[in-house]
Amino acid sequence: MHPQLGLLRRLHRSAAALSMASKVLAGSPAALGFRMPAEWEPHDQCWIGWPDDEGIWRDDAAPAQKAFANVVNAISRFEPITVCTNSGQYKRVSDLMKHNSSVRVVEMSSGLVWLRDLGPTFVVREGQTGSMREIAGVDWQYNGYGGFNGLFDPIGQLNWRKKISLKLKKCFGRHERYEEDYIEDNLVARKVLELERIPRFETDFVLEGGSIHVDGEGTCITTEQCLCHGNRNPHLTKEEIESQLKTHLSVSKVIWLPKGLHGDDAISGHVDNICCFVRPGAVLLSWIDDESDPQYERSISAFNVLSSTTDAKGRKLEVIKIHVPGPLYMTNKEAGPLADLGVSGHERLAGSYVNFYIANGGIIAPAFGDKWDEEAYKVLMKSFPNHQVIFQSLIS
C-alpha cells in the first residue's frame, strides 16, 4: 500500500439510477444483463479518499494530504470528483477545496483511503433504444486485504492497524478502535451507493477493486497471488473464484497472471500495479530488463501468459511494456510510525507507472522523479492519443 493512484472509483450515472432509491437487487449482474465497464468509458465523476490515519501516514499525514490535494485538483480539470473524509478532517478539506466547483466533500467514516479497493464496482446495463443505460453497484466483502505475514487475518486476530494503534497507545496515549474501523471500512461501498441512490448487488465474495481489470468487452485480468490466496476466499477453488468473477463482472474470459508487482505483497499482489488494459486487445505491462532484479521473473511470467492467450473476442493481445521506476526504497522518515513495528527504511517500494487513473479525456499518472519518468510519459501518450497525460509527482 503505497501512494499510487490505485485509490479511486469512477461513477457511471444514468437517469434510471437517480429515479430509484438504493436497494438490494435479486440475482446477479450477469443474469440481469449488467457488466463492468472499462475504465476509459465515459463516467459522471470520480471518488477518492482522504489520508488522515496517523498509524499509516507519517508527519500527521501532512505530506500525503498535499499529494492527495494535487491529485484531486488534477482530476477535477477533467471531471467532478467527490472526496471522502473522516469527520475530524471534514471542515479542513472543505475549506481547502471550497474554491474548486468540481470538488464535493462528503463525510465517510473509514480509516483507509483506497476507494478503488473499498468502494463498489459499478456495473452498467444498456437501456432500450434511445434511453440511458442503467447503473448498479457490486458490494464486495472487504477483510482488510486478507492478511500480511501473520500480523492480521479476517478471522479476528490482531491486524496491522490494531497493532499500530496499540503501539500508539503505548507510546503516545492514543488508541484507535480497530473493531469499529474494520466494520466502517466494509460499509464504504454500501454508503457510496446509498449516497448516489444506486441499487446494489450483495455478495459474500471477498474482493478489492484493485485486484481486477476489465476491457469492457468480456475479458478480465487478475493475479493468482491475490485472488487464489487463502486469506481472501479460502473455501473456493480457482475455478469457483473465476465463476464468481464471471457472475459479478459479466465477463467470459479471465486471464490469470501468476503474481503482482514485486514489493506489493502487503496486499497480495494486486493486478492494477503490474498490468492493465489500455484498450480492447492491448495491455500495459510493468517491465524491467535487469535479469538480476526480482521483478524480472514476475514480468517475464506475466508476459508469457499475456502473449500466449487471447481475449474474450478471440484477439491476440498486444503487450506494451512500460519500465518500472527505481528500484525505489522507503526511508526511515517515510516509514513514520511503521518503523516502530519493524518496517525499516530499506524496504523496496512497489513503484509502478501502470497504476494510473483514466479521467474523461485525461490520464493522471504517478511520477517518481526517476530516470524512467520520461519514457513512461511517452508510452502513456502513445497508448492514449486522445487523452491529456498529466504526471503527478508523488515525491514530497
How many other CB atoms are found less than 10 A from the CB of residue 331? 13
345-386 pLDDT, tens per residue? Answer: 678 899 999 999 999 999 999 999 999 999 999 999 999 999
How many other CB atoms are found less than 10 A from the CB of residue 326? 19
Asked whether residue 217 carries a pLDDT value surpassing 70, the answer given is: yes
Region of 146 on the Ramachandran plot (φ > 0 left; ψ -120 to 50 alpha; else beta):
left
In this prediction, residue 60 carries a pLDDT of: 86
Lowest mean pLDDT among 20-24, 176-180, 305-309, 376-380: 176-180
Instruction: Name the 3-class secondary structure at 311.
Output: coil
| Grid coordinates given for 129 | 433504444
Q: Which residues contact 10 (CB under 8 A, 6 or more apart)?
A: 39, 43, 44, 45, 46, 47, 122, 358
The confidence band for 127, taking pLDDT boundaries of 50, 70 and 90, is confident
To 10 degrees, what angle do helices 87-97 and 62-75 make? 50
Asked whether residue 199 carries a pLDDT value surpassing 80, the answer given is: yes
61-89 pLDDT, tens per residue? Answer: 899 999 999 999 999 999 999 999 999 99
Asked whether residue 27 carries a pLDDT value surpassing 60, the answer given is: yes
Beta strands in 28-89 (DSSP E): 45-49, 81-85
| C-alpha count within 13 angstroms, C-beta hemisphere, residue 213 | 33
Architecture of domain 8-393: 5-stranded Propeller (3.75)
The confidence band for 155, taking pLDDT boundaries of 50, 70 and 90, is very low
The confidence band for 9, taking pLDDT boundaries of 50, 70 and 90, is low
CA gap 233, 246 in Å, rounded: 16
In this prediction, residue 54 carries a pLDDT of: 78
Bridge partners of residue 275, in order along the sequence: 285
CA gap 279, 342 in Å, rounded: 41
What is the share, in percent, of the chain residues with pLDDT greater than 70?
Answer: 81
38-67 pLDDT, tens per residue? Answer: 999 999 999 999 999 877 788 888 999 999
Residue written as cell 478503488? Answer: 116
The confidence band for 2, taking pLDDT boundaries of 50, 70 and 90, is very low
* Average pLDDT estimate for 209-223: 99
> Contact, 51 vs 66, CB < 8 A?
no
* Average pLDDT estimate for 263-284: 96
CA gap 73, 333 in Å, rounded: 27
In this prediction, residue 169 carries a pLDDT of: 46
In this prediction, residue 149 carries a pLDDT of: 34
Query: 212, 188, 248, 203: which is closest to 47 by C-alpha?
Result: 188
Q: What are phi and psi of 8, to 5 degrees?
A: -120, 155
Mean pLDDT for the chain overall: 87
Instruction: Name the 3-class secondary structure at 377.
Output: helix
What is the share, in percent, of the chain residues with pLDDT greater than 90?
Answer: 70
Region of 218 on the Ramachandran plot (φ > 0 left; ψ -120 to 50 alpha; else beta):
left
305-350 pLDDT, tens per residue? Answer: 999 999 999 999 999 999 999 999 888 777 766 666 666 667 889 9
Q: What residue type is assigned to position 122 of the chain?
A: F
277-315 pLDDT, tens per residue? Answer: 999 999 999 999 999 999 999 999 999 999 999 999 999
Buried b (16+ CB within 10 A) or exposed e, 111-141: bbbbbbbbbbbbbbbeeeeeeebbbbbbbbb
* Average pLDDT estimate for 201-222: 98
CA gap 154, 231 in Å, rounded: 7
Bridge partners of residue 284, in order along the sequence: 276, 320
Asked whether residue 252 carries a pLDDT value surpassing 80, the answer given is: yes
CA gap 295, 243 in Å, rounded: 30
* Average pLDDT estimate for 121-144: 89
Alpha-carbon 362 to chain mean position: 18
For the sheet with 121-125, list strands across it: 121-125, 134-141, 200-206
Residue 144's alpha-carbon distances to 71, 89, 313, 394, in angstroms, are 25, 23, 35, 24
* Average pLDDT estimate for 183-208: 95
Query: 322, 326, 255: which is closest to 285 by C-alpha?
Result: 322
